[in-house]
Structure formats: C-alpha cells, structure tokens
Chains A and B, each alone.
Chain A
Amino acid sequence: MNSSAQTGRGLAWALVGPTLALLVAFNIFPLVYNIVSSFTNAELIGGAWRSVGGANYARVFEDELFAGALRRTALFVVCAVSVELALGFVLALTLQRDFKGKQVVLTTLLIPMMLSPAVMGLYWNLVLNGNYGVVNQALSALGFDPPQWLTDRDYKFWSILLIDVWMWTPFMMLIALAGLNSIPTSIYEAAQIDRASPWKVFTRITLPMCAPVLGLAVLFRATDALKQFDLVMAVTGPNDAATQTLSTLLYQVVFRDGSVGLGAAFSCVILVLVIALATVFTRYIDRVQSKDVNA
C-alpha cells in the first residue's frame, strides 16, 4: 500500500514536472534577470554593467513619460472594458431567444476576436485613413466633416479603442450570453406571476444572476487590455505621445533607446501591478468555481 502510494506520487510528478519546470524556468529567470539589471546601466548592445543604485527606479517614478503611459493604459483598460461589456451585453440580450439562423449570426459575430490584432490593426489603417479611407468617404457623403482618425492627436487614441472594441465586443457578448442562458426560466415565470415590471425583472433577476460570469469577463478583458501592444504598434508605432501604453513604452525604452536597465526597472514596476491583478483574478476564479460545485 505504502509503496503503491509512493509510485503514485512519483508518477504524478513525472506527469506535471516537465510543464511546471518549463514554466518556472521561463518566468523565474526573466524575473531574476529583470530585478538584477534594474539596478544597473545595462544596454541592449554590449558593454559591461555598472551598478547605478536606485537611479532607474527614481526615473520611472519621476519621469512624466512613465506616469503618462500608466494613465493612458488605465484609461484604455477602463474604456475598452466598459464599452465592450455594455455593447456585448446588449447584443447578448438580442440573441437571448432562439431564431432561425442564430448559430450562423452568432459565429459570424465572433470572428473578429479570433483574428490577429497585428494584422487587422495594420489593415484598419486603410479603412480609417483620413484622405482615402472608406469611413471618411462615407462620412463626407453623409455631410459630416470627418477627422483625421490616425494622425490627429485628439483622435488616435480613440481610433485604437474603436478597433479594440470591434475585436473584443464579441468576447463580452459570448460570456454575457452564457450568463443569460444559465438563468432558469422558472425564475422568469415566477416574476411574471408576481407581475414584476420588465425593468424590475432586468435589474433584480437578469443583472444580478449574470454578475458572477460578467465579473470573470471583465477580469479576462482587463488583464488582456493591460498588455495592449499590437494595435498601438500597428496604428501609431511605439513612440507617440498620444497613444503610448505600458507595453509600447517598454518597447521604445528597450529596443529603440537600448536602455535595458531602465526598461528592467519599469518591467518590475509593471510586474508588481500585474501580480496584484492576477491575485485578485485567481481568487475570483476560485470563488466562482467553488460556487459552481455547490450549486
């Protein structure tokens, strides 16, 4: 009995070991490397490292560049998540009832979220171009005076957000739809017997019962939007004051300026943020999953 339990344990580690080892290696090494090099003047090409103490961190916390990227990323996350959630929820409501061809409509709606953001972002440059883009031609034909979506300082950021909304609203819709479908019809029937108004049904039954999965959706989108890189690179490049996010600023600092040490300090600050968010996230998943088991 004892020996079989032991072979069981050996087998278990043999199964999970390789994967965990790879993940540890590819996450711990970069972490250690970043921490060490963040206190040096390391550069991308050659040169010996020299300790600079906390100078890199001082710059990260003092330079307006980093604070600006953080603010812009936060604004992007908040706007993207809330617009996509609202729009996705409305779409899910329109898809709640069965109709002929629902599967086709649903699958078509979902396609944008599966496509490559880098490739589609590049292509949107043609669609939104200020001079020959089809969007501006359509707006002019309707009598509007269309803006320069991709080059005007006041519009660039929102153009990127628009592309993100196009790509990711389907994701929110899909999750909201799952939430809506999980509400038992008996609850709606009970509400009907009680003559609850449609508004009351929506705010007292539909929304609260969807809330747990919508929370999950928000966390998934937020962690993803926080990494926003591909679309910004495709639309404005990494060094645009109006659109620079955390990831694109990191790219600029490390790969264009070659300042690995400064980039590492910045990475460490971002990692603290990401780890905090990941902790909230995993706790939440844990709670939602253990609720599922009880239900």
Chain B
Amino acid sequence: MKLVRWFVLLAYLALAAAPLAWMALSSLKRRDDTIAPHAKFLPASSAVDDSASPWFEATLAAYRDLGAVHAGAQESFLGHLGSSVVIGLLSTVASVALGTCCAYGFSRFRVPGAKDWLFFVLSTRFLPPLAVVVPVLIMYRALDLQGTHLGLIVLYTVFNLSLAVWLMKGFLDEIPRAFEEAALVDGYSRGQAFLRVVLPEARTGMAVTAVFCLISAWNEYGFAMTLNSSGAVTVPAYFAGLQGNIEGMPWPQIAAGALVFVAPITVFTVLVRKSLLRGMTFGTIKQ
C-alpha cells in the first residue's frame, strides 16, 4: 500500500513538473534545437555537430533577446512586462484598499441586506469576461480608455473586488472586536481605531489578499486581449499575439519570457503556501 502510494505520488509529480522542466531547457536552446525532430534534452557547453544527438549547445541568447521586437508585435517582451507590472501592482493596491474598507463595513456594522450584497459581490466573479466585454469596450471608447494602462487598472480593480472583499471579510472577522472596543474606551475615534488597531492586525490578511489579486490580474487574458490589443498590451496578450507570425514561433524566447513571467508567481505561491486554499476559494474554506 505504501509502495503504491509513493509510486502514484512520484509519477504524478514527475509528469506535472516535466512541462516546466522542458520549458527551462527550451529557454537555453537555439530555435533549431527547440523544433529538432530528435529531442534535445542534454545541455552541452560546446557546439554539437550530430543532429541525432540528444545534446544541444546551451546558450543564454534567448534571455538576451527578451529586449528584441518580434514580427507582429509593437514592443519587446520587456516593454510588455512593464505594462503587466504597472497594471498588476496598481490594480492590486486599489482592490485591497477598497476591498478592506468594504469588508470592514460588512464585518463590524449592520448593513441592511448584508448577506444579499455579499453574494452579489461573489456572483460578479462568475460572469464570463466575454459576455460583458462589449459594453465595457463601448464605455472605454467613449472615455478614451481603450488600450491604456488606466483602463485595465480600473477593470482589474473591479474584477478583483469580489476576491478582496470575501478574503478580507474572513480575515477581519477573526480579529476580536475587544481590540477596537478597548481603543474606543481609550478615546480613539472609529477611524483611528480602524487605522491604528485593526489594520496592523490585518496585515497578514492584506498581504495574502494582495498576492491573490496580483496573480489574477497578472494572468488575466480575456479582457486584456479584447480591450488592449494595442497600446498597453500585457504579457499574456502579447504572447498569444505571436501565434501565426510569419517568422515562425520564437520558441526559445517564448520559453525564456514565460519563465521570467511565471517566476514571481512561483515565488508568491511559495510565500502564501499556507493560505493557498483560502485564497483560491475566496475564504469559503479556512485552513
């Protein structure tokens, strides 16, 4: 039984990790080696002449090329990475700020219809982006927000509010009310009690919420490719746009770029590993 257990676990681990390992190898190749009819899976430090050999010459050229502009794109990978960073960070800050205030209101005050409002907030997350994107596009055309950083920042902020409100409500509910009551007795105003007593206690929760908002903005594709097909194009939309380009897919650069793009997410995953379940289920399951 124990043997079966280990076999299943290790087999799955190997299969699941293989695509990522292959990606790392591909990022060290030249383009011809990525599409060679004989798979090249062993990096070598010098040139390899034999085309049937599993060895390939490892090079960092793909990483150096990340600043290059490919056919069919307006900017280099690094330019798009910049857009992703700006849009991801600013929308995260806004979502967490708004979401924390809203969650505090629901957590500590009697809001009429609170339960219905909370479920309305959650249900906004179920809408397929493609079913609401045209009206948003019309609105953004009128406001001149199409293709701008600001447009996607606002949209991702709104899109992530359901996540921020639900997660923060869970975290705030766990902070004892006695803390604020003591502060109020000491002469703090409601606002001061919130800023000086509740927020410091909620720091961990806010950090976890921020990570999940950032990841979902970072990975978003549907809105990004329809609203910002030019101008502030984020990385997922940029990569998708490379498909069908006349020079063929620049696989080593794609692998290198994808690794650079997913590296921060991997680091964040490790950092919030204890709260992953909570974050992925909008706080409905607490570990």
Contact = CB atoms under 8 A, between A and B. Distances in A.
Interface of A: 8-9, 11-16, 18-20, 22-23, 26-27, 29-31, 33-34, 37, 44, 87, 90-91, 93-95, 103, 105-120, 122-127, 129, 131-132, 134, 137-138, 166, 169-171, 174-175, 178, 213, 216-217, 220, 223, 226-227, 229-230, 233-234, 237, 246-247, 250-251, 254-255, 260, 263-264, 267, 270-271, 274-275, 277-278, 281-282, 285-286, 288-289
B43 interface: no
Interface string B155-175: 101100110010000000000
B235 interface: yes
Interface string B15-45: 0110110110010000000111111010000
Given A34-B135, A233-B221, A11 B161 contact: no
A93 to B, nearest CB: 8
B156 to A, nearest CB: 11
B179 interface: no
B211 to A, nearest CB: 10
A229 B139 contact: no
B287 A119 contact: no
A278 B125 CA distance: 9
Nearest to B243: A122
Interface centre among A9, A111, A116, A251 (most CB of B within 10 A): A116
Interface centre among B130, B138, B261 (most CB of A within 10 A): B130
24 contacts: A15-B101, A30-B135, A31-B132, A33-B135, A33-B138, A109-B16, A110-B273, A117-B219, A119-B236, A124-B19, A166-B19, A175-B285, A217-B281, A230-B221, A233-B240, A234-B240, A247-B128, A250-B128, A254-B134, A267-B130, A267-B131, A274-B128, A274-B131, A281-B123
A263 B134 contact: yes
Given A12-B109, A30-B131, A264-B134, 13 more contacts: A16-B106, A23-B121, A87-B12, A95-B9, A106-B273, A119-B219, A120-B262, A122-B258, A134-B41, A137-B39, A230-B222, A251-B226, A281-B123
Interface residues of B, number: 92
A171 to B, nearest CB: 6
A274 B226 contact: no
Q: Which of B16, B120, B235: most chain A Cβ within 10 A? A: B16
Nearest to A15: B105
A30 B136 contact: yes
Contacts of A107: 269-270, 273
Interface stretch (B55-63, B65-73, B143-151, B248-256): B248-256
Given A174-B277, A255-B226, A105 B131 contact: no
B276 interface: yes
Contact of B215 (A23, A44, A114): A114
B101 A178 contact: no
B284 interface: yes
